[in-house]
Chain A
Amino acid sequence: DAGVIQSPRHEVTEMGQEVTLRCKPISGHNSLFWYRQTMMRGLELLIYFNNNVPIDDSGMPEDRFSAKMPNASFSTLKIQPSEPRDSAVYFCASSLAVRVGETQYFGPGTRLLVL
């Protein structure tokens, strides 16, 4: 079975540009999570969806970040405008349900560098 798919795997952009990260969750999974990983702050949950509806976006850093899930098989995380401090690895994860003990399955990540 295909796991969580993320694209692009690497992105280099200049400050001020729009960046769009994409995620395809595992088929049949109802929950989707976006995380950011940096050396300074570790792994941070940015937002998560259940049945395509955003449930908790309290981790989204500021208005420059937005996330959508138009259907069960696709989600985007957009940064506009991007800044050098947004440089990080962004992970998408999915799980079968919003349920205690449920495992999250992570994608390979998108490594973003903003110059």
Chain B
Amino acid sequence: GNSVTQMEGPVTLSEEAFLTINCTYTATGYPSLFWYVQYPGEGLQLLLKATKADDKGSNKGFEATYRKETTSFHLEKGSVQVSDSAVYFCALQPTGGGNKLTFGTGTQLKVEL
């Protein structure tokens, strides 16, 4: 079946540090891949997505590249801010499965001054 594996958190960084949150997936075919972010007390918001291999999604300084060969979609940001503190979810949407999402367990990011 389809599954998403994310690195466990919490990840604690100092402001302006480089961020990487690892995400790997298991799926048949060519799923679409997403990163959603959840701020405290809020619902999930789409951060970025990629719908085919080698695509790079980017938004608000965050980037992730769809790597078919390694079945990965790692999230990166060059310089994090305190306001980036949130929980980040990697998700996949299988081909031919409507637009159901399978989510990873989420990675909490804490950014400190």
* B-binding residues in A (CB < 8 A): 4, 31, 33, 42-43, 45, 48, 50, 55-56, 91, 93, 95, 97-109
- A42-B106 CB under 8 A given contacts A100-B32, A103-B46: yes
* A-binding residues in B (CB < 8 A): 32, 34, 36, 41-46, 49, 51, 89, 93, 95-96, 98-106
Cα separation A106 to B93 with both chains bound (whole Å): 16
Beta-carbon contact of A95 and B99 below 8 Å? yes
Residues of B contacting A100 in the complex (Cβ-Cβ under 8 angstroms): 32, 51, 93, 95-96, 99
Residues of A contacting B98 in the complex (Cβ-Cβ under 8 angstroms): 31, 48, 50, 55-56, 98
Distance (whole angstroms) from the CB of A59 to the closest CB of chain B: 9
Output the nearest chain A residue to B33 by Cβ-Cβ distance. A101
Max chain B C-beta neighbours (<10 A), residue from A43, A105, A109: A43
- A102-B103 CB under 8 A given contacts A91-B43, A108-B43, A109-B43: no
Beta-carbon contact of B51 and A91 below 8 Å? no
Distance (whole angstroms) from the CB of A99 to the closest CB of chain B: 6
| Option from A91, A102, A106, A108 in Cβ contact (under 8 Å) with B99 | A102
| Option from B34, B51, B89 in Cβ contact (under 8 Å) with A43 | B89
Cα separation A56 to B101 with both chains bound (whole Å): 12
Distance (whole angstroms) from the CB of A55 to the closest CB of chain B: 6
- What would 26 A/B residue contacts be, using CB atoms closer than 8 Å? A4-B43, A31-B98, A42-B103, A42-B104, A42-B105, A42-B106, A43-B106, A45-B100, A45-B102, A50-B98, A56-B98, A97-B99, A98-B98, A99-B99, A100-B95, A100-B96, A101-B51, A101-B99, A102-B93, A103-B34, A103-B46, A103-B49, A104-B99, A108-B42, A108-B43, A109-B42
